[in-house]
Structure 1
Amino acid sequence: MDAAFSIFALLLLAGAVAAMSLRNLIHCALSLVVVFFSAAGLFLLLGAEFLSFAQVMVYVGAIAILIVFATLLTGSAGATTGALAFRPWLLGVGTAGWVTGVIVAAVLNGRPLPVEGKTAALPTVRQLGEALMTRYVLPLEVIGLLLTAALIGAVVLALREGGAGRGKEPRP
């Protein structure tokens, strides 16, 4: 368990550093995918299966792929990020050092909270699914309808503004 945590934590940190420091935008987006998968692995180790799978489905399956597609479709796949000047890096390093110092001071000077009684059992994915499909089925359906209406509205607005499907291409 400790080895798996160490591996996921190192992958998360390495992916985050790579996403910030690589110059190619596609490589940055793929590094972000590594970060999302590593965070999902950490959630899995903590026993939060639903949160882990939601992390993969939402962040890896939707957001990261959206970033990759947007980068490819805008023609900036080969674009590089500009080199940062010395001062923003200095500000970032200073802020990170300050936050680290505050956290270390809080951990070293803090007292553990007293634990009283038994902790509540964590719900499983099965219990969450049963609750969504029985007690909370009406709010779930309303949210589904709202999201569908938002999607249809976005498509209508995109078509009204002369977006995809109009056949109007600028002349060279």
Structure 2
Amino acid sequence: MAELMVVVLIIGMAAYVVSISVDAILPGERLNSSVRSLGGILQGTRSDAIARNIELWVEYDLEEERYRIVTPFRAGGGSLIVSDEDDDQRVKLPWNTLEQGVEIASVVTAGVEYTDGQVFVRFDPLGMASDHSVILTQPAFENFFTIEVLALTGLIRFHDGVFIREAPDDSDFN
């Protein structure tokens, strides 16, 4: 009987250690999951803009920590929307939210850093995009990750930590 109690005690201690390890790993993976999800949306939006030969936008809502794709299609059908006047009639895909505990620290576009409000970035049919960086953070663990979208090619780069690309100046071309 004593041996059985010792075995049960050892199994209980092992289960406790495993549960602590899993709890320690999962929060860190939430940031990675959010980075992969947003990166996939950005790459998919660029690909769709090229394949459909249209401009698409990604809207970041920094207050609610979410993002979505905005199309030039008119809700209910009809012609494409080419001006900002009919912006409320655009088809907007459902919001994508970040994992629990992950926030959008800032969006930097055209050298301007935004930490609140809404920010729109463009992907065009040639593969180009609004030059921007999205910095995701996990405040509880003081982790940061930067997703950078290059303007000329629309390619997406991932950087661990906070990364802001310096704008070139004349001395870079001497």
Report the TM-score range of the alignment, normalised by the length of the smaller protein. Answer: under 0.3
- Bigger strand share: 2
Report the TM-score when normalising by structure 2.
0.22
Report the TM-score when normalising by structure 1.
0.22
